[in-house]
Amino acid sequence: KSFFIIDEILQRIINFEPKQSKKIKIESVLKDQDIFELIEPSTDINDIIMPENTKELLENILKQQDKKVLERLHSWGIKSNKNIEAKIIFYGPAGTGKTMSALAMAKSMKKSVLSFDCSKILSKWVGESEQNVRKIFDTYKNIVQTCKQSPILLLNEADQFLSTRVDGSSGSDKMHNQMQNIFLEQIERFSGVIIATTNFLESLDSAFSRRFDYKIEFKKPDFKDRLKIWEKFLPKKALFEKDFDINILSNYELSGAQILMVVKNTALKVAVSKDGVFKMQDFIESIQKELNSSFDKSKIVGF
């Protein structure tokens, strides 16, 4: 049998253009602004070493994605809609995995992340109109309307911007307080998932603190978790000296980020050495340099 295809349909087949991915859609909205950084997470919760109670808290938040859970909360009047909503503060020392955990949650939710640096916004917008502050949330809402899934909004270094309001009477002080009031209003109205990271929870204005559903502390890892972090970051195909003892390294009170930095610095040193063998002394020297350059009071225990 012979058959034919209508010319118009044939042209559509020949010139078929696949729909743009969610990432491209977001990028098309972001191309003319410098507010947000778009991040596509690659790490999930199971890849992060953290205390079990912290992981349990994060997993409980993620369980809100379950359709039955959302329907129950909606029927009880706890949630106004059937979409996952959460306003979260991650607080604790630098390098303890706050930002990484935020990205991991986004990965588990199959969401992109829109991140902005609050310190950058503060320095850029002091003295400008309050309309510029609203632009942050207006841009986010516009992205939500154009994407199939709303991205997570990540407020990095929130202590730079959400700190206690000042009592000064100068123009910059008034503008600072005015911007904070607008931020407070927008966060209260926010629908979706927003995560703020801060090094010092006590520095946040109490009005902001009350607007967040969850406040999760990230502590420096204990010996057990430090041991796991060292095991994760140490090169798997490298040569180590005889009697190399990872337990000795784990005695140093370092954050996960500090351990990674020590491993990288030591690897650079060993890579240019003659034998290419990792030695305890090289690690200890790198650790001491890291501790001496740190502003916290990290120290060694039991060694």
Q: Going from the first residue of the chain to its last (303 residues), give the mean pLDDT of each consecutive group of 10, the final group possibly shorter.
A: 56 59 66 83 91 93 85 82 83 93 94 85 60 82 81 86 70 75 88 90 77 91 97 95 96 96 97 95 96 61 38
Q: What is the pLDDT of residue 83?
A: 72
Please report how many Cα atoms fall inside a 13 Å half-sphere around the Cα of residue 288, on the Cβ side. Answer: 6
- Token pair for 108: 């588990």
Neighbours of 21 (CB within 10 A): 10
Domain boundaries, the chain: 12-217, 223-293
Please report how many Cα atoms fall inside a 13 Å half-sphere around the Cα of residue 143, on the Cβ side. Answer: 33
Q: Which CATH architecture has domain 223-293?
A: Orthogonal Bundle (1.10)
Pairing label, strands 113-117, 37-39: antiparallel
Q: What is the pLDDT of residue 257?
A: 94
At 289, the amino acid letter reads K
Q: What is the pLDDT of residue 101?
A: 96
Q: What is the pLDDT of residue 40?
A: 92
Q: What is the pLDDT of residue 49?
A: 94
Q: What is the pLDDT of residue 299?
A: 45
Distance from the Cα of residue 25 to its chain's centroid:
22
Report how many helices (DSSP H) and strands (DSSP E) the chain contains, helices first. Answer: 13, 8
Total-model pTM: 0.80
Q: What is the pLDDT of residue 84?
A: 77
> What residues form DSSP beta bridges with 277?
239
Q: Distance between CA atoms of 134 and 186, rounded to whole angstroms?
A: 8
Q: Distance between CA atoms of 186 and 30, rounded to whole angstroms?
A: 20
CB 276 within 8 A of CB 270: yes
Please report how many Cα atoms fall inside a 13 Å half-sphere around the Cα of residue 99, on the Cβ side. Answer: 16
Tokens 């009170």 belong to residue: 253
Which CATH code for domain 12-217?
3.40.50.300
Q: Distance between CA atoms of 122 and 113, rounded to whole angstroms?
A: 21
Q: What is the pLDDT of residue 303?
A: 32
Q: What is the pLDDT of residue 131?
A: 73
Pairing label, strands 214-217, 239-240: unpaired
